[in-house]
A and B are shown apart, each in its own frame.
Chain A
Amino acid sequence: MFLSPIRYNRMPIVLEAWESASSDNRIKPSSEDRAFRWITGISASSILLLMAGLIIVMLFYSHLALREFGFGFLFSDEWNPITQKFGALSSIYGTIISTVIAMLIAMPMGLAVALFLTEWSTPKAESFFGTAIELLAAIPSIIYGMWGLFVFAPFMADYVQPLVNQYLGFIPLFQGPPMGIGMLTTGIILALMILPFISSVSRDVFKMVPPVLKESAYGLGSTNWEVTKNVTMPYALQGIIGAGFLGLGRALGETMAVTFVIGNSHRISASLFQTGNSIASTLANEFTEASEPIYLHSLVALGFVLLLITVITQLAAQLWLRHVVKKAGGR
C-alpha cells in the first residue's frame, strides 16, 4: 500500500463546522492552537522550499554549461573533459533506451502479477507472492548492482546472449560480443526493480473494479481471461497507465544498479549488447572528478535534464491518477 499513490480525500462535516467556527472572529482559537497551525504549516511549507531550492541550485550550478552550449547540449554526443566539449546526447540516449527495455518487460509482467494476485490466487498465495514481490522494492539499489555485475551479467554472457544472438542475431539490436554488461542487462535489472511498483498499483486499481461488472460477464459465460480482457482491463486502463508512469519515473533516475552494469562508455550504439551510459551513471562516475568549472557545470546540467524529466513524469502521473480517482467516484 505504500507504493500506491492513490488516495481519497474528503472533509468531515463536524470538522468543517469547527473550521468555519474558528475562522469566525468571535471565536478565536487559543494561542496554542494558533502556534500548532503555524508550526505544522511551516513544516509543510518546507517541502515547497525544498523543491524550489532544488531547481534554483541546479540551475545556478549549471549556468556556465547552459550558456556555453545552449540547446546544443542536448543534441551533441561529444563528451570530452580534455577539450572541454560536453553534450548530453549519449547519456540521454542510454537513459531512454534502458528505461524503454525496462518498461517493455515490467509493464506486461507487472500486470500479469497483479492479475494473478487479485483474480486467480488463493488468499494465502496472494499474501505470499504479494509480499515477496514488494520486498523486491526494499532491496537497496547497490545490491542489485552487485548481483547484476557479479552474478547476472555473467549469466547473461554465458547463457542468454549467445542464444539470443544465435536466433535473433540478424537484427542489429542483438549483434556484438556477449559481454554480459550493457544496455540489455541494465534494462532487465531495471525491470525487476520497478516491477513491484507497477504490480502494486495495478493490484490496487484492479481491486477497484466493481465485482458486479465481472460477475455479469461471468454470468454470460465468459472465461477468466475474457473477463480480464473485456471488463477488468478496460475499466482499470487509466489506473494502469498511472502505474506505468510511476515505474517510468523510478527507472529513469535509478543510479547505482545502472552504474554497475551499463558499462559506462560515452557512446551510442545500435546493439543492446554494447555498453553505454545513462545520465545518472555518468553523474555517479564523474562528479567527483570534475575539476574544471565547465566540467562541473556540464554534469549539473546533465542532472538538471534528469530532474526535469522525472519531475514532468511524476507530475503527469499525479495529475493522471487524480483524474482517474475522481472519475471512478473517489471512493
Chain B
Amino acid sequence: MQSSSLKTRMATDRLIKVIAVLSALIGLLALVWILVTVVGKGIGALDFKFFTELPTPPGMIGGGLVNAIVGTIIMTILAALIAIPIGLLAGTYLAEIGKGSRLADIIRMVNNILIGVPSIIVGIFVYALLVIPMRSFSGYAGAAALAVIMLPIVVRTTEDMLTLVPDSLRESALALGVSRWRTTFDVVFRAAKQGLMTGVLLAVARVSGETAPLLFTALNSAYWFDSLKEPVANLTVTIFNYAMSPYSDWQQKAWGASLLITMGVLFLTITARLIMKKQRKQA
C-alpha cells in the first residue's frame, strides 16, 4: 500500500466510506420501504368491522377478523404464561446457582442452539407431540409451540440481565446472612427488574409475529373457538391464507392484519428498548 500514491490512497478511502454509508442507507431504506408499504396498504382495511366482525365466506366482501385478533392474543398470553416462569428460573440457575459449572455450560450452549432452531421445526415437533395424540389441531398446541420458541429466548436474556448485576450486591446480602434464594429474588431480581422486563417483552414481541409454528398446530379457522381444544384463528396464518387467495377483499384484509401485527411487534420492541435505555442511564 505504501507504493501507491497519496491520491489513490485517499480515493480508495473515500470510496470505501461511500460504500459503507450506502450500505447503512440501504438498510434504512428497506425498513422504511417495508413500513410504508404495510401502513399504506393496510390502513384502508382497518375499519370498525375489522375489529368486531367474523370473517365472511370466501369471495364475499366485508366482515372482520375479530376471532383471529383474539386468538393471537390468547395464544400469545398462554405461551408467555408457560415460558416466562420456566425461563426466568432456568436463567436464574445459569446466572446464579450453576454459574461456572459444567452442566450450566452445556445448558447454555444447548439453549443457544435452541434459539437458532427454525420455528417451523418447532411446529412439526408440537404437531407430533400434541396434535397427533389429541387428534385435532388446537389452540393449546399453538400456544405450546409458541412457548417452546419463547423459552430459550427468555432463558438467554434472563441470564444476561442477571449477570449484569454487580456481585457486590449479592455479597452484601449474603454477608448479612440472607439466604441464597432471598438474595436472588429480593436483591438481584430487583436490581435487574428493568432488564428482565425488557427480555420478556422482546420474547413476547418475537413470538407474537410467528407464523410457521402455528401452521400445523393452531391451524386457522373462520369461526369463533369455544375452547382451545379446537383449531384457533390467528392473525399470522390468516395473513398467509388470505394473501394466497384470489380474492382482493381478502388480500386487503391480509394487509390490514399485517399492519396490526407489525405495529404490535414494533410497539413491544421499542417499549423494551426504551426501558433498557432508561436503565442504562440510571446505571
Which A positions have Cβ atoms within 8 angstroms of B? 1-2, 5, 7, 9-12, 14-15, 18, 22, 29-30, 32-33, 35-37, 39-41, 43-48, 50-51, 53-54, 57-58, 60-61, 108-109, 112-113, 115-117, 120-121, 129, 131-133, 135-136, 138-147, 149-151, 192, 195-196, 199, 223-226, 228, 230, 246, 249-250, 252-256, 259-260, 280, 283-284, 287-288, 299-300, 303, 306-307, 310-311, 313-315, 317-318
Contact = CB atoms under 8 A, between A and B. Distances in A.
Interface stretch (B9-17, B47-55, B61-69, B73-81): B9-17
Given A46-B90, A131-B273, A288-B216, A224 B118 contact: no
A12 B171 contact: yes
Contacts of B206: 138
Given A46-B90, A120-B17, A138 B215 contact: no
A142 B180 contact: no
A14 B171 contact: yes
A223 B9 contact: yes
B192 to A, nearest CB: 14
A22 B219 CA distance: 51
A2 B200 CA distance: 12
A104 to B, nearest CB: 14
A177 to B, nearest CB: 22
Contacts of A196: 27
11 contacts: A2-B160, A14-B170, A37-B97, A44-B98, A47-B155, A117-B24, A138-B269, A140-B262, A199-B27, A288-B219, A315-B113
Given A47-B155, A136-B31, A303-B121, A147 B37 contact: yes
A251 to B, nearest CB: 10
Nearest to B237: A142
B97 A225 contact: no
Given A12-B171, A39-B89, A112 B20 contact: yes
A284 B243 contact: no
B269 to A, nearest CB: 4
Interface of B is mostly: helix
Nearest to B213: A255
B211 interface: yes
A50 B151 contact: yes
Given A37-B97, A138-B205, A54 B121 contact: yes
B171 A46 contact: no
Nearest to A312: B113
B128 interface: yes
Contacts of B111: 47
Contacts of A33: 179-181
B243 A2 contact: no
B27 A195 contact: yes
A36 B90 contact: no
A149 B163 CA distance: 43
A15 B170 contact: yes
Interface of B: 1, 9-10, 12-13, 16-17, 19-24, 26-28, 30-31, 33-34, 37-38, 41, 86-87, 89-90, 92-94, 96-100, 103-104, 106-107, 109-125, 127-129, 148, 151-152, 155, 157, 160, 163, 167, 170-171, 174-175, 179-181, 184, 199, 202, 205-206, 209-212, 215-216, 219, 236, 239-240, 243, 251, 254-255, 258, 261-262, 265-266, 269, 273
A133 B27 contact: yes
A144 B251 CA distance: 15
A151 B255 CA distance: 12
Contact of A9 (B99, B152, B170, B180): B99
Contacts of A145: 240, 243
> 3 tightest A-B contacts by CB?
A253-B118, A140-B209, A36-B181
Contact of A113 (B23, B93, B123, B127): B23
Contacts of A9: 99-100, 163
Contact of A135 (B31, B123, B215): B31
A48 B128 CA distance: 19
A47 B21 CA distance: 41
Given A9-B99, A307-B117, A18 B174 contact: yes
A318 B109 CA distance: 7
A133 B148 contact: no
B117 A226 contact: no
A51 B254 contact: no
Given A139-B34, A280-B120, A11 B99 contact: yes
A147 B38 contact: yes
B176 to A, nearest CB: 13
A177 B98 CA distance: 58
Task: Pick the most buried of B98, B155, B205, B262: most chain A CB atoms within 10 A of its CB.
Answer: B262
Contacts of A45: 107
Nearest to B239: A142
Given A40-B89, A141-B210, A150-B251, 7 more contacts: A46-B90, A54-B121, A133-B31, A139-B209, A260-B243, A280-B212, A310-B116
Contact of B116 (A35, A136, A250, A283): A250
Contact of B151 (A10, A29, A47, A129): A47
B100 A284 contact: no
A18 B174 CA distance: 8
A225 B129 contact: no
A11 B119 CA distance: 34
B31 A132 contact: yes
Contacts of B93: 40-41, 43-44
Contact of B13 (A40, A144, A224, A288): A224
